[in-house]
Structure 1
Amino acid sequence: MDDLTKEQRHRAMSHIKATDTKIEVLLRKHLWKKGIRYRKNYALLPGKPDIVISKYRIAIFCDSEFFHGKDWGHLKEHLKSSINSVYWLKKIQRNIDRDTEITKQLHSLGWTVIRFWGKDIIQNPEECVQTIEDAILEQKIQQIELRQPSFPPPK
């Protein structure tokens, strides 16, 4: 059951931003401090990732728990008793399916995909940055290995 009137809910929902959200800005600030340069909302890739480190082919998504269905089993049960439950169940399930599809598309294009939940970014942005730094290191190692000449074995 919704505690807000239809007008109050409309006003609240209209203030939800698609880009430059609190969690995106927080993560980007921490990346910038570490000297990691990026592009934001990169429209040339499927799903328009929130942050892209193109040099290392890393796409980062900052997902809010509600709209991207964290703990979907529990949330689904809670939403079944809410107003407009059919709409929300369909919308969030579609978001989950789209997230999965976008991740697959990016992987098939050779990109590393990292997804963070909003609360993880807020509670521990340093850990999120460390995850990204680990992915960069992994990409650097792969790039070096690809550049190594393969010599024929001695006869």
Structure 2
Amino acid sequence: MRGRRGYARPLEGADRITARAEADELLIEAAKVVRSTDPYLAGHFPEVTLYPAIFLLDGIRQAVGAELHRSPALAAHLGTDSPDSPDSTGGEWLELGSLDSARVLRPMLEGDELRLLIRVSAGRPGALRAALDCRRGDGEQVARMTVELVRGGTS
């Protein structure tokens, strides 16, 4: 298959996202409420709505892709074709290049509002480094991760 790959619609990694470029970094804050009615949580853990930590990775990927346009320098470092060639979700399609570190400190349960604080900087050529500090609404840290993101969606 040549050209852009066809992908299924991703999970909604965030309910809302805000971002600002600061020096050579992009600072993103995304929020996600854990809801038992979200279709991907049905049957994940019997009788308890437990948010899978793996979904934090997609939250990072989606938030950075949606807000990358705010930092032309990071977009250029990533090697994007152009800011006018977004994917169908309105942002740059990014993929996980590597998971450098991950630590889940507390469970994420129904009703928890998760705050994903993501600090994005240039990584190796053609890649971005994203460091996540995930906290519940009460300020308690529940997870931290560092990932490498690369441009995706081409064969």
TM-score interval, normalised by the smaller of the two chains: under 0.3
Larger Rg: 1
TM-score scaled by structure 1? 0.28
Higher relative contact order, chain-length normalized (CA < 8 Å, sep 6+)? 2
